[in-house]
Structure 1
Amino acid sequence: MLSREQQDFYAENGYLKVEQVVTPEELAELQSVTDGLIDASRGITESDERFDLDSGHCADTPRLTRIKLPHKQDPVYDRILKHSKVTEVLNDLLGPDTVLNTAKLNCKAPGGGAAVEWHQDWAFYPATNDSLLAFGLMLEDVTEDNGPLLVIPGSHKGPVLSHHAGGVFCGAIDPDDPLFEKDRIVTLTGKAGDMTVHHVRLLHGSAPNVSDRARKILFYECASADAWPLLGGSSYIHSLGQRKFWEDFQDRMITGAPVFTPRLADVPVTLPLPPAPDNTSIFKTQISGGAKSAFA
């Protein structure tokens, strides 16, 4: 799927955009299912295990920041990850044995949909090695005014910046950190069906959606099967217990086979503890943890 040039670009810069990675038919199905889930949120008045509500959400005008764990809500999300060109990109970058850590569908409602402050995914879920990445599959056209992904090329090779404030994990860096190189920011826009890829240690964020269109991006956070999560992250997997974890793990296998001997690499790790007062989503973590906004 990927050319040697594309793989080298990802290795050097820590991100990549792959155009039209799903077929028109696959995209239409994803859009239809997603619209159905958003419609189903009309009767919800508080964030729950399925939906993270944005301010102003109501039955007449549903406003979501996120659909949680979409791969557990409809099989189309799981199928696209495991049986499409998305799968080929994954194997080109992580090898034959891969596993899904989690998935989410960030909806970013129009007219001020919440920003995601600058952060490195690695700060949320460190592992035994950093062969992890996130896909961002665009379900609608993404333009500069509706909160596109912002990245800093090459930052995956640098340090993991502090994501703490006031003694708790706030899920965001301090925008005044001297190692935050604002002048190197790249904006990743694209057409529906395009997909971004970013390394687990890449600095990234996204501004509020100030357009009149929702920004729907389906994120898959994937790992090489030899990269095992460290205890201390906020993922639901840590609360399952051994047997349920094993059952869930088998469902999350994407390609290849499980690897029971973790690869231990010399990687920088700071556990995301103590947790923010509300760590039910990145949005709640950043707000309740007192993160300083780069977009204020």
Structure 2
Amino acid sequence: MGIVGNLTSDQIQFFNSQGYLVLESFASPEDIDSLRKRMDQLLDEFDCSKSSSIFSTKNQQHTTDEYFFESAEKISFFFEEKAFDDDGNLKQPKQLSINKVGHDLHGIDPVFKKFSSSEKMSSLLCSLGYRRPGDHTVHQPGIGGEVVPHQDNSFLYTDPPTCTGLWLALEDATIINGCLWAIPGSQKDGLVRRFIRDENGVHFDNPPPTYDQKDFVPIEVKAGSLVVIHGDLIHQSFENSSSKSRHAYSLHAVDTDGCKWTEDNWIRRKVDPEPLYAC
């Protein structure tokens, strides 16, 4: 399969300098409609009585949850921290209570797989130097959870590091409803800590750094825009407390050519995924 990169030299230079890149109109209105309708269908079919696993970037409640551990090769549903009342009942309909659907949505579901393995996506990764590139995030109205400052390489680590985040806005993302924020150029400082799984359980290997919020810039984008995120870029999003949802599809790519997953990754697959393409 002959893959040709689609980024310009100026775009690659900006990405290397700033650690992120916004590609407007990356997804067509038809793409967005297809992904959103499919997610609505998956949520309608999800039996929430069989799982109450919570996804949080502020604590690791889910780290002792086998449902979370076994999600690497499944489509699993994770609730917002504020989804349940004191009696363990959902405070809102399940469609408004889910934080994240993962971790193999792009590998199993045909609609998400079609978009994730499209020629446009493959061409983008080729532009970034991937040779064998081998998670859906939903922020809901009213209770969209905060995502604390982090680096994607902390959670998806290969040797050498190759993770790139691909964040597709399925709706307009603004300061009001929880857009991404990043510290431009912070990827140049390297990885500060890793989320690992060892004989002591699942934990970070270093305490969280302190960041000056004045260093962050908002990345406001229109629906259909793709934000490309370097694996070492410091980024975050704030809680969406507005009445407007901010749905997004988040995919992470790593290169399997000359790289390998480290044995202490928190998430582990039993079978390696097929690459999107091979040069």
TM-score (normalised: structure 1): 0.73
Please list the CA deviations of residues 29-72 of structure 1 after superposition, one character each: whole Å capped at 9, or x if unmatched: 11110121222336445235510012144674531010112124
The one of 265, 270, 274 aligned to 1:233? 265
- The yes-or-no answer on 1:33 pairing with 2:68 is no
> 1:217 maps to what in 2?
248
Distance 1:70 1:88, change over 3 A: same
Please list the CA deviations of residues 204-243 of structure 1 after superposition, one character each: whole Å capped at 9, or x if unmatched: 1111011112222111110223232111011131xx2xxx
Aligned-partner Cα distance in 2 for 1:171–1:143: 33
Report the Cα offset of residue 84 of structure 1: 3.9
Identical amino acids, percent of aligned pairs: 25
Aligned-partner Cα distance in 2 for 1:84–1:137: 16
- The yes-or-no answer on 1:5 pairing with 2:10 is yes
Aligned-partner Cα distance in 1 for 2:47–2:213: 38
- The yes-or-no answer on 1:17 pairing with 2:22 is yes
- The yes-or-no answer on 1:51 pairing with 2:77 is yes
Please list the CA deviations of residues 76-108 of structure 1 after superposition, one character each: whole Å capped at 9, or x if unmatched: 11111211422221111133x2323xxx11112
Aligned-partner Cα distance in 2 for 1:78–1:172: 35
Distance 1:217 1:98, change over 3 A: farther
Q: Secondary structure at the match of 1:236?
A: coil
Aligned-partner Cα distance in 2 for 1:141–1:195: 11
Contact map agreement 1:65 1:109 (CA 8 A) in 2: yes
- The yes-or-no answer on 1:255 pairing with 2:260 is no
Aligned-partner Cα distance in 1 for 2:21–2:206: 22
> 1:161 maps to what in 2?
192
The one of 88, 110, 117 aligned to 1:75? 110
Which consecutive residues of structure 2, in runs of 5 or more, have no partner in the other structure?
A: 1-5, 54-66, 85-89, 196-200
- The yes-or-no answer on 1:134 pairing with 2:165 is yes
Letter in structure 2 aligned against 1:77: F
The one of 185, 204, 226 aligned to 1:195? 226
Contact map agreement 1:125 1:230 (CA 8 A) in 2: no
Letter in structure 2 aligned against 1:80: F
> 2:122 maps to what in 1?
87
The one of 78, 99, 113 aligned to 1:65? 99
Give the stretch that moved more between structures: 27-36 or 69-78.
69-78
Letter in structure 1 aligned against 2:33: A
> 1:99 maps to what in 2?
133
Contact map agreement 1:124 1:171 (CA 8 A) in 2: no
The one of 164, 174, 180 aligned to 2:208? 174
Distance 1:59 1:111, change over 3 A: closer
Distance 1:16 1:46, change over 3 A: same
Q: Secondary structure at the match of 1:196?
A: strand
Aligned-partner Cα distance in 2 for 1:168–1:64: 23
> 1:147 maps to what in 2?
178
Report the Cα offset of residue 26 of structure 1: 1.7
Letter in structure 1 aligned against 2:163: L
> 1:290 maps to what in 2?
none
Contact map agreement 1:150 1:185 (CA 8 A) in 2: yes
Distance 1:38 1:255, change over 3 A: same
Aligned-partner Cα distance in 1 for 2:31–2:207: 36
Contact map agreement 1:117 1:172 (CA 8 A) in 2: no
Q: How many residues align?
A: 238
- The yes-or-no answer on 1:125 pairing with 2:156 is yes
Give the stretch that moved more between structures: 42-51 or 28-37.
42-51
Contact map agreement 1:123 1:171 (CA 8 A) in 2: no
Which consecutive residues of structure 1, in runs of 5 or more, have no partner in the other structure?
A: 258-296
Contact map agreement 1:150 1:188 (CA 8 A) in 2: yes
